[in-house]
Structure 1
Amino acid sequence: MYRLSNIYVLAAFGTIGGALFGFDISSMSAWIGTHQYLDYFNHPDSNLQGGITASMSAGSFAGALAAGFISDHVGRRMSLIIACVIWIIGAVLQCSAQNVTHLVAGRVVSGLSVGITSSQVCVYLAELAPARIRGRIVGIQQWAIEWGILIMYLISYGCQEGIQTPAAFRIAWGVQAVPAVILLAALPFFPESPRWLAAKERYEESLDTLALLHGNGDRNDPVVQAEWDEVQEAVRIAHESKDVSFLALFGPNIWKRTLCGVSVQVWQQLLGGNVAMYYVVYIFQMAGMGSASLYSAIIQYVIFLVTTGIILPYIDRMGRRFLLLSGSITCMILHFAIAGTMATYGHAVDSIDGNANLTWKIGGAPGKAVISLSYIFVGIYGFTWAPAGWIYSSEVFPLKYRAKGVGLSAAGNWIFNFALAYFVAPAFTNIQWKTYIIFGVFCTVMNFHVYFLYPETSGRSLEEIDAMFDSNIKAWQSHKFEARFEEQIEKHRRESVVEKAGDSSHAEVV
């Protein structure tokens, strides 16, 4: 059967799994302030709305935990096929929702799919991509999430304006099934991960896939042979290990990687970015935008999309540590600035535009300042933690632990996504501007964690990253770690030249 071999084409289709996450974010954020949604679901209060929003994250947490077992058993590609089917079922349930319970059930089912795709698309692309461009390839997943957010929001906006009945949100939620159908149709043409194939002792298929992806089908290409050596060594070590359970991820030789992988996903949530995506309409309504908050939200989503798109071609040159540290420091400053502006110039109210969930308002020039700071925050998030968090967690685990490790990391993302999605709606009601102080403190703590415990992984093969962790080099000195991959490529080039020279000499003798 024909197999796609261009890594960018594979990433473009594969990261549709990320778009599913984006679709689900704005499928809720676009509707929480509209009369079609509020009237049909009887104006849910802040606690109930937090539960509805967070229900998708609850499903994603369960899906991410199961993803590693599914992916290790049936393969990376088949796990994505399963996720597509689950997503389509979830979209149907949401589209046909008759009450809050029905809607929550649909969001939980969709979340199961997002939990699988959010972890295993990263694993799959990281195992397919060459080291020199792995960051941008895996980072395309985050860009796909942002495309999903924007596209779903625009679809929802169009439905809001053109349809005044519950059919408005039903159409939007039904359209969510379309990208899953596209990905489901494309996946049979994807190659399986060469590292998974080797782990299953399907060595010929593994080498053929590496040759297809990195050597134009030539098994003897020096780059292919160098990477094949590292894959074989990783598989040998993996086979000598015991079967992996989640407890094994906290063993003496792996716990540091698990801490890095899980914590980077948790910190990505505690930075406050995805929460801003869920409740962007609330933020702009508090800043006095009123009906224009929908337009303002679209601008924010475009900024998010553009900044991530700009950084992706350069992300492998800049280093993971630089992006993570610069992002957390800048976002810390922005959170404290927004909190200070709202506290100084805002005031308590009973409701905003009839929405009793919002009890703090800031208007005029200070309100515009809050909006500007929110735009800057989203731009910084798009440049840094949004792509870098997913990339980093996909890189730090060795082959034997990778699927379950990244699954556990994504589960950390989703359980905090659930907690924060539930927390923020009542937080805006009860503690107003102090919500931003909490996120500012989180950013302060993560600065120290990243600096002292996150080694640099950019530009190294997955096997070289294993060796770096095993060397126990200090995180802030990890850029000095000597890579071995280029030496192996050069070794295979020399061997290839010698072999060809020997063939020529033999021919002359004959």
Structure 2
Amino acid sequence: MGALINLRGRSLYRLMKFICGVAFMMYGYDAGVLGGVLLHKPFLDAIGNPTGAWTIAMISSSYSLAAAVTTVVIAPFTFRLGRRGTILLGNATAVVGSVIQATSWSVPQLIVGRIITGFSIGCISSAVPTYLSETGMEIGDRGPANAINAILLISGVPLAYWIDYGFVQYNGQFSWRVPIIFQCLFAITSGGCMWFLPDTPRWYYARGRPELGDDALCRLADLPLDDPKIQLTRREIFMAMEAEEEAKSSLKWTQFLTSGITDKTPLRIVRRLCICFWLPFIREWTGSSMLAYYSTVTLSQAGATPTLVSLLAGVQNIIFAAGCVPLYFTVERTGRRATLLWGAIAMSTLMLIFTVLQAINPTTSMSWASIGIIWTFLFVMGWSWQGCVWLYCSEIPPLDYRHLGGAITAGGEWLATWLFVMVLPVGLENIKWRFWIFVLTGNVVAVVFVYFLCPETGGKTLEQIDYIFAEPGTFTPGGKGFTGGEDFDTEQQKTWTVEEKSAEVQQAEKVEHGRP
């Protein structure tokens, strides 16, 4: 373990990406593992063969609901725990929840296990994207790191499916208990490695622990403290902290009731936090989780035969995961806003075609066309909205509110997942193909939302993003004359010489020591 403690530079950041990816893969695995055994006879025998339709629905949805509640409950404490501490808490409770589920002999015990695991995933989904974004030393680090996270997250779903598929060929109790306990390997690996790693430099500075912040910053950059690059980064962080401190006085809780529309604060803090909630909420409204959770149901509705539906569901999950791969190569070139916007336009078009096909009396060729549209839709979703939403929402909150932004993002994700996963089977049963009009509406809303409310954040440091959202002319950092707004030009900041910035570090240190 000494090697982990002594890692520096890119090797350290690669390990951080791996650990966060493993935690997110557990998140995807746990989301999919129970779905593969819900109708398995040994599983049903173990929990007493429940007959009520709502019982199975509650077993499945208790996980999502617990994750949504967790993000709200832990939000006031995550700033004290830190990004690292929240991830460790999530991994520890994941082991407890998995053991309770795998040893269940009743519905109540299983639901308790699901709730504890939901608490775990609520912690992990709140903290991991922020941890990745705040530990990246280069501007281009954040996009690929979060893309890898998305790839591993969605890869966890087909992994769970195929493990289930292999084990349910047997009839013993182990056939469903082993797949569930398997997720402990993810938690032990991620949590065990994370124990030896630092928190983010920005969190240390925000908590008034500059020595630890300096140490983490120097380890990540593999440079001494007096290096100009380290000094520039420190200065930007402290300058952002000072601006955010000044902006706090104009915050009002009533601004949250209007989703930030009435937000007149200099840094638009409320508006940014509201985007963190609505962007993942809209992502679930577009149909991603509904198609993933009920892949066998939707494929059957699309016309797949019973003999093929299980195999096609497995292929569908692989396609969804494969769709996340291109984001790794494109996100820093095309930007966040363009990826989200053009992805939403393509998804709206595909969902419109799918809805029309479902409204027409199906033939064999139309059934296969519908399945092809679903697969194309999920591929586009994986490339555009699956990873890019996590990335965007980890970038836009100010430093002092980034823990809250992570919690709000995960809360929007899980609240929408629980709501729409509960609604889909009821909708398909009662209004048939017309339910997909509701899903199509979500895709159209996604286009409008991104076009009007989501400025581009790529190509900028986390601190520079403050000035994108700031009202033009509200403040001029360092007295250098550049102002906020979407048209903020990063090149203006580059005109500062290293000597100018380094000379201002003394002022930044005054801010540092004035923090609580």
TM-score by length of 2: 0.86
Q: What code does the residue aligned with 1:137 have?
A: A
Measure the CA separation in 2 of the matches of 1:263 and 1:155.
34
- Separation (CA, whole Å) in 2 of partners of 1:155 and 1:15: 19
| Structure-1 separation of matches of 2:249 and 2:75 | 13
Paired residues for 1:344-493 under 5 Å: 344-346=360-362, 364-471=364-471, 480-483=487-490, 487=494, 491-492=497-498
In the alignment, what sits opposite 1:329?
345
Report whether the alignment pairs 1:154 with 2:162.
Answer: yes
Q: CA–CA distance in 2 between the matches of 1:464 and 1:62?
A: 32
Q: Distance between the aligned counterparts of 1:107 and 1:394, measured in 2?
A: 26
> 88, 97, 100: which is aligned to 2:107?
100
> 1:44 Cα deviation (Å)?
5.0
Please state how far the C-alpha of 1:238 moved relative to its aligned partner: 4.6
Specify which of 125, 138, 147 is matched with residue 132 of structure 2. Answer: 125
How many matched pairs? 475
Residue identity (%) = 24
Does residue 275 of structure 1 match 2:315? no
The answer for the alignment partner of 2:336 in structure 1 is 320
Letter in 2 for 1:154: W
CA contact (8 A) 2:327 2:383 kept: yes
**Matching residue's letter, 1:15:** G
What's the CA shift string for 1:191-225, capped at 9, x where partnerless?
211001001221122122112112x2322333322
Whether 1:165 aligns to 2:181 is no
| Matches of 1:179 and 1:429, distance apart in 2 | 37
Stretches of structure 2 that go unaligned for 5 or more consecutive residues are: 257-262, 474-483, 503-516
Alpha-carbon RMSD across the aligned residues, in angstroms, is: 2.7
Distance 1:87 1:341 in 2: 42
Post-superposition CA distance 1:405-462 (Å, at most 9, x none): 2211211111111101111122222222222111101111221121011111112111
* Alpha-carbon shift at residue 49 of structure 1 (Å): 3.1
In 1: Cα distance, 2:46 partner to 2:220 partner: 51
Tell me what 1:308 maps to: 324
AA aligned to 2:35 is: S
Distance 1:35 1:323 in 2: 44
2 CA distance for matches of 1:248 and 1:138? 33
Q: 1:83 to 1:326 in 2, by over 3 A?
A: same
- 1:353-399 CA-partner distances (Å, limit 9, x unpaired): xxxxxxxxxx6222211211111011001110001111111111101
Equivalent AA in structure 1 for residue 278 of structure 2:
S
Query: What corresponds to 1:89 in structure 2?
Result: 96
Shift of 1:43: 6.0
The SS at the match of 1:98 is coil
Relative to the length of structure 1, the TM-score reads: 0.86
Matched, 1:199 2:206: yes
Distance in structure 2 (CA, Å) of the matches to 1:44 and 1:305: 34
Aligned twin of 1:356: none
Residue 328 to residue 242, structure 1, CA distance change in 2 (3 Å): closer
C-alpha contact 1:67 1:120 (8 A) present in aligned 2? no
Q: Measure, in 2, the Cα distance between the counterparts of 1:464 and 1:329.
A: 29
For residues 346 and 55 of structure 2, what CA distance do their matches in structure 1 show?
33
Matched, 1:70 2:77: yes
Q: What is the identity, as a one-letter code, of the residue corresponding to 2:139?
A: A
Task: Give the AA of the match of 1:305.
Answer: A
Equivalent residue in structure 2 for 1:298, among 314, 332, 337: 314
Kindly state the Cα deviation for residue 333 of structure 1 after the two structures are TM-superposed.
1.8
CA drift of 1:306 comes to: 1.8
Q: 1:102 Cα shift? A: 2.1
Among 274, 283, 289, the residue aligned to 2:305: 289
Distance change (3 Å), C-alpha of 1:466 and 1:249: farther
Question: C-alpha offsets along residues 198-256 of structure 1, whole Å, 9 cap, x if unaligned?
Answer: 01221122122112112x23223333222111111123345556699994984642121
| SS, match of residue 384 in structure 1 | helix
Name the CA distance, whole Å, in 2 between partners of 1:342 and 1:221: 62
Shift of 1:492: 2.1
